[in-house]
Amino acid sequence: MNRRQMLQASAAFGLRGMRREFGSVQTDEELVAFVDLRDFRTEMRASNPRVRCFDLRRLISFITPEREFFSFHQTETVQADSQTWRLRIDGFVEREGEFTLEQLKQRSESRDEVVTLECSGNAPGPGANGQVGNGRWSGVSLAPILAECGVKPEAREVVFFGMDMERSTGPDDVVPHGRSIYVQDAMSPLPMLAYELNGKPLPAEQGFPLRLIFPGCYGMTQIKWLNRIHVLDRRYEGFHMSRNYHTMNSLEYPNEELWLETSISKTRLKSVVARVTRRRQNERFLYRIAGAAWGGPSPLKSVEVQVDNGGWRAAQIAEPGGDFSWHLWSIDWPDASPGRHTLVSRAIDADGRIQPTAAERRASIRSNREDNSQWPRQVLVIGV
């Protein structure tokens, strides 16, 4: 990629002429070409499943624009009518409930929550770790609504069903797409029923008119087009719950190897190098590496960056996030030299956990999902 192509690329991605708190984009700043994105595209599949990715090179703000938010669902985008739509709550409750969208909006338990959503299948490759986004979700807390319905003592799980359908055990078995969480989790302050994203009604691809938002969990928990909540006295064993979104984790015991198979649940500690930019200062270029970090059971402590297997350098947390949103980071690269370079980041949490390498992850997780491994990026520098 020559200088003219770089300028065209930076203009296409909306970097030139913009300013931001995240690293302060300069008017003369331009993208440096990654050489590991040859097959990347944001639109991957229109349906069955629907897959659209976020281009991380456009990570220029803390909040992901709703029009660029990633999308993944099993079949097709549901086009719901909010006037006829209802949310039904039944099962092991004392009083079944039914709510219109307006009734939910008028409740006193309304709240906003900035939450990073990541698909459990988010990984390098054609999707370039682009199945992730950070949004401001508005809605109502779930727990008070369940309490109003009177959850029975024998209740064990709460199942959330969407208006989209999924295949089950046989070719003709089509059932509503669902996912369950424990009653204790459902009655905690975390889950919410969201009807807005970034201050606007949910787009159809994000679950209009209502979806579940459970901060800290992977995307398959965040059921879209939510129209039914069913309280169970036993486990829910829908196809994607019991046989698809599974993982095997290594348990560490002295002189013993034990693998535990469970449903995928909480997001793991992760960071990514999103882009490299450069701008001219006097007679030379100044380079900068930027990205995001999120997930994990403990708060983020730091992010470090490595260039060409050299020493790890501390990045600056340019825009700290909350407990369940990503943190944007950046680091100057003053000694960039012409040629191809390998860049990688790693996140470290407050308890000392370090984002694993690919080999370390494979030693502890046997799953094609939950890929939180360090992601080496290949970048081409053509001038300093």
Residues 101 and 85 sit within 8 Å (Cβ to Cβ): yes
Q: Is the pLDDT of residue 17 over 50?
A: no
The boundaries of every CATH 3.90.420.10 domain in the chain are 67-247
pLDDT digits (tens, 9 = 90+) for 249-303: 888 778 888 888 888 999 999 999 999 999 988 888 899 999 999 999 999 999 9
Query: What is the location of CATH 2.60.40.650 in the chain?
Result: 3-61+265-381
**Residue 169: predicted pLDDT:** 64
Structure confidence by residue, pLDDT tens digits, 38-58: 889 999 999 989 999 999 999
Give yes or no for residue 11 having a pLDDT over 80: no
pLDDT recorded at residue 258? 87
Dist CA 259 CA 247 (whole Å):
10
Q: What's the mean pLDDT in 131-154?
A: 98
Q: Decide: 275 and 254 in contact? Cβ < 8 Å.
A: no
- The H or E element containing residue 8 is helix 3-12
Taking the C-alpha atoms of residue 377 and residue 238, their distance in angstroms, rounded to an integer, is: 38
- Structure confidence at residue 117 as a pLDDT band (50, 70, 90): very high
Distance CA 222, CA 267 (A): 12
In 78-144, DSSP assigns E strands to 87-91, 97-99, 110-118, 132-141
Which pLDDT score is estimated for 170? 66
335 contact partners, CB below 8 Å, separation of at least 6 = none
Q: Which CATH number among 3.90.420.10, 3.20.20.10, 2.60.120.620, 3.20.20.240 corresponds to the domain 67-247?
A: 3.90.420.10
Is residue 52 within 8 A of residue 44, CB to CB? The reply is: yes
Instruction: Give dist(CA 43, CA 40) in Å, integer.
Output: 9
Domain 3-61+265-381 has CATH 2.60.40.650: yes
* Residue the block writes with tokens 């080496």: 376
| pLDDT of res. 114 | 98
> Is pLDDT of 9 > 80?
no
| pLDDT of residue 8 exceeding 80 | no
So what's the pLDDT on residue 21?
A: 45
**Per-residue confidence band for 69, with pLDDT thresholds at 50, 70 and 90:** very high
Tell me how far apart the alpha carbons of residues 81 and 83 are, in angstroms, rounded to a whole number. 5
Which whole number is the average pLDDT over 181-207? 98
Q: pLDDT, tens digit, for every residue of 326-378?
A: 999 999 999 999 999 999 999 999 999 999 999 999 998 988 899 999 999 99
- pLDDT at res. 250: 86
CA-to-CA distance for 159 and 52, rounded, in angstroms? 26
The pLDDT of residue 29 is 83
CA atoms within 13 A on the CB side of 4: 0
